[in-house]
Copies of this chain bind each other. A is one copy, B any other.
Amino acid sequence: MRLHHFHSSSTSFRVRIALNLKGLEVDYVPIQLGWSSGDHDKPAYREFNPQQNVPVLEDGDATLVQSLAIIEYLDELHPEPPLLPRDPLGRARVRGLALYVACEIQPPNNLRVQRHLAAAMGADQAALSRWQRHWIDVGFDVLETQLSRSPLTGKFCHGDTPTVADIFLVPQMYNAQRKVVGADLARWPTLRRIWDACVALPAFDRAKPQNQAGFESPVGH
């Protein structure tokens, strides 16, 4: 299997964690994303992946897109350790947490939306920083409430082993701490506690952007 990924993309980060938790070795193919241009803008990449995003998992002739679809696929083929609870209600809770990150925190802050804010709305760097911080603050406040009041929250988002919810939360918290966003995790004690528990695990730590080939510094935007 080959994973086409970008070191600083939070969606790539998610799949790297899942691969590490499963103990799966794959070939990593770096895709460079950037503000003014990037590998994903090139015709050859569009031909390979019409969605023009990362990550992409190649497995034989198949090319799989969208981080949650890739992670569910890995979990179906390699069930141990499970990344979703066994019970349907628990699975729905974990997916509901992961999808809140995937659909409501990450999208307004991703590179293509940032670029379009600059192009269509004339947003400058300061406005883009405020925009990103807004969605982090609103989103993490929601997750702090949801996680702190549920008896199902344990050492991790759901019980005492990492699940898809943690796999989606940690890369978003990593991004929130970048200088351009500047969030202070002290505002969200439950998230902070879960972050600490996750990054203490080698599977999460090894997946961090700075531990990938080609990493130089955080992307400005």
Interface positions of A (Cβ within 8 A of B): 50-53, 59, 62, 64-66, 68-70, 72-73, 76-77, 88-89, 91-93, 95-96, 99-100, 102-104, 106-108, 113, 116-117, 120-121, 123, 127, 130-131, 134, 142, 145-146, 149
Cβ-closest chain B residue relative to A11? B103
Partner of A106 from the list B50, B62, B103 (CB cut-off 8 Å) is B103
Cβ-closest chain B residue relative to A84? B72
Q: Could you tell me if B88 and A73 are in contact, using CB atoms closer than 8 angstroms?
A: yes
Q: Could you tell me if A73 and B92 are in contact, using CB atoms closer than 8 angstroms?
A: yes
Supplied contacts A108-B116, A121-B127, 20 more A-B pairs, CB within 8 Å: A51-B100, A51-B142, A51-B146, A52-B142, A62-B92, A66-B99, A66-B103, A70-B92, A70-B96, A72-B92, A73-B89, A77-B88, A102-B103, A103-B103, A103-B107, A104-B107, A107-B107, A107-B108, A116-B134, A120-B130
Contact flag A96-B65 (CB < 8 Å), given A103-B102, A142-B50: yes
Contact flag A93-B64 (CB < 8 Å), given A102-B99, A107-B107: yes
Q: Which residues of B contact A53 (CB under 8 A)?
A: 104
